[in-house]
Amino acid sequence: MIPSVLPTYNRAPLQFVKGEGAWLIEADGRRFLDLGAGIAVNALGHAHPALVQALTDQAQALWHVSNLYEIPQQQALADKLVEHTFADTVFFTNSGTESCELAVKMARKYFFDKGQPEKVEIITFDGSFHGRSSAGIAAAGSEKMTKGFGPLLGGFVHLTFGDLDGVTNAISENTAAIMIEPVQGEGGIRPVPDAELKALRQICDEHGLLLILDEVQCGVGRTGKLFAHEWAGITPDIMMVAKGIGGGFPLGAVLATEEAASGMVAGTHGSTYGGNPLGCAVGCAVIDHVANPDFLAEVNRKSGLLRQKLEGLIADHPQVFEEVRGSGMMLGIKCKTTNIDVVNAGNDNQVITVPAADNVIRLLPPLTLTEDDIAEATNRLDAAAKQVENQLEIA
């Protein structure tokens, strides 16, 4: 008999009932150090006082009215995002997947309204992850996600990650945009070098294409800048955001320039829940904290300390670990043993990590991780590595 919850996840046998900062408390009382943050969602950790207060205050006033009316909290969050980014306008969604859907529609509608309806193709890259909707899996193109779900949405051209020559060669009269994650998350924490992001921006400018950045996982302070593309000194035309922007409350957004968004007029897109008062009240509190330069400076300082500790960990366990990669608090450890074995050993030692492609474990901790948390994380990861080494000796 099928369980009442559709079994699409291989869930760990853990039930967390409470969270405090970077810590999760299991139903049996055990305390786990959370280096996953709900897959880069809990940017300010668990039960952050400012987020609890924002949600409580809004819940006592108004939960939902729909986008048939003006929503002051939505306007406030949009104003903050416009103030701190390249964007002129924002549409709010509930998730990264929904943000992907709108980004694709926006790019295609832009060229349709310019009298170039043939421009529908979007160049994407292997190892990418843009959600699990029909557009998202078609954009990524990996067999793992697309098998059995055909016919796939057309209009995507898939290239090898890092192949700039391939980008130029793939551009045709049908090309509308290039879509890329500045740091691949699910793909194994693979940063796009700054020079390559600059080159992609230049290619788009030279060929009259739109640059779409997927910052669902790498945005909202995760790399030590408010958004990861800032390190390269470039700006996109359209950007997908989610995860950390709600600090744990389901919230996403698409940010765009006025020009790129020009086709999205009344009636072209909508969302019943997107940008509701609850989500946007929490989002405002998140941005107020994360966009603060002092906060981001601390993220950079602590992420440097964390990376230093991880480099030492790898040196101590060459049988288990190979290298550290990533940026800020978006780090990956490439494993020599099976990454799932390392994740499971971490669970046994009460430290949460997240698996990814390329045999990588992801470390996506709350941006509020303390120095004591970092020391404890190192100790628990060290214990997990020793457990894996013992298993290798037995085998």
Q: How far apart, in whole angstroms, are the C-alpha atoms of residue 52 and residue 56?
A: 6
pLDDT confidence band for 95 (50 / 70 / 90): very high
Residue pLDDT, tens place only, 51-76: 999 999 999 999 999 999 999 999 99
Residue 350, CA atoms < 13 Å, CB-side half-sphere: 15
Whether the per-residue pLDDT at 236 is higher than 70: the answer is yes
What would the mean pLDDT of 199-226 be, rounded to a whole number? 98
Are 363 and 35 spatial neighbours (Cβ–Cβ below 8 Å)? yes
Residue 395 is predicted with a pLDDT of: 65
pLDDT confidence band for 218 (50 / 70 / 90): very high
- In the chain, what are the helix, strand and coil shares in percent, each to the nearest 5? 40, 20, 40
Residue 370 is predicted with a pLDDT of: 97
Percent of the chain, pLDDT > 90? 97
DSSP state, 248?
A: T
Residues in the annotated binding site for N(2)-acetyl-L-ornithine: 132, 271
Q: How far apart, in whole angstroms, are the C-alpha atoms of residue 292 and residue 108?
A: 35
DSSP state, 272?
A: S
Please name the amino acid found at residue 299.
V
Residue pLDDT, tens place only, 105-120: 999 999 999 999 999 9
Alpha helices in 88-131 (DSSP H): 96-113
Q: How far apart, in whole angstroms, are the C-alpha atoms of residue 163 and residue 84?
A: 31
Residue pLDDT, tens place only, 222-233: 999 999 999 999
Instruction: Please tell me whether the peptide bond between 366 and the residue prior to it is cis, using omega within 30 degrees of 0.
Output: no
Residue in the structure block whose two tokens are 């309806």 = 117
* pLDDT, averaged across the chain: 97
Distance of CA 20 to the CA centre of its chain: 22
Are 287 and 245 spatial neighbours (Cβ–Cβ below 8 Å)? yes
Phi, psi of 18 (to 5 degrees): -160, 155
Q: How far apart, in whole angstroms, are the C-alpha atoms of residue 102 and residue 270?
A: 9
Residue pLDDT, tens place only, 6-36: 999 999 999 999 999 999 999 999 999 999 9
Are 46 and 21 spatial neighbours (Cβ–Cβ below 8 Å)? yes
> What are the structural domains, with CATH classification, of the chain?
23-48+294-363 (3.90.1150.10), 49-291 (3.40.640.10)
Are 373 and 305 spatial neighbours (Cβ–Cβ below 8 Å)? no
Residue pLDDT, tens place only, 179-195: 999 999 999 999 999 99
Q: How far apart, in whole angstroms, are the C-alpha atoms of residue 280 and residue 377?
A: 32
Which distant-in-sequence residues (6+ apart) come within 8 Å of 266 by Cβ?
none
Residues in the annotated binding site for pyridoxal 5'-phosphate: 96-97, 129, 214-217, 272
pLDDT confidence band for 246 (50 / 70 / 90): very high
Question: In the structure encoding, which two tokens stand for residue 207, read together?
Answer: 């060929």
Residue pLDDT, tens place only, 248-292: 999 999 999 999 999 999 999 999 999 999 999 999 999 999 999
Alpha helices in the chain (DSSP H): 37-40, 49-59, 72-84, 96-113, 134-140, 143-146, 164-170, 194-207, 277-290, 293-316, 339-348, 371-394
Residue 350 is predicted with a pLDDT of: 98
What would the mean pLDDT of 158-187 be, rounded to a whole number? 96
Which distant-in-sequence residues (6+ apart) come within 8 Å of 77 by Cβ?
90, 92, 275, 280, 283, 284, 287
What would the mean pLDDT of 211-222 be, rounded to a whole number? 98
Q: How far apart, in whole angstroms, are the C-alpha atoms of residue 250 and residue 246?
A: 6
What would the mean pLDDT of 36-41 be, rounded to a whole number? 98
360: helix, coil or strand? strand
* Pairing assessment for the beta strands 321-327 and 252-256 based on DSSP bridges: unpaired
Q: How far apart, in whole angstroms, are the C-alpha atoms of residue 269 and residue 101?
A: 10
Residues in the annotated binding site: 96-97, 129, 132, 214-217, 271-272
Alpha-carbon radius of gyration of the chain: 21
* Pairing assessment for the beta strands 190-191 and 321-327 based on DSSP bridges: unpaired
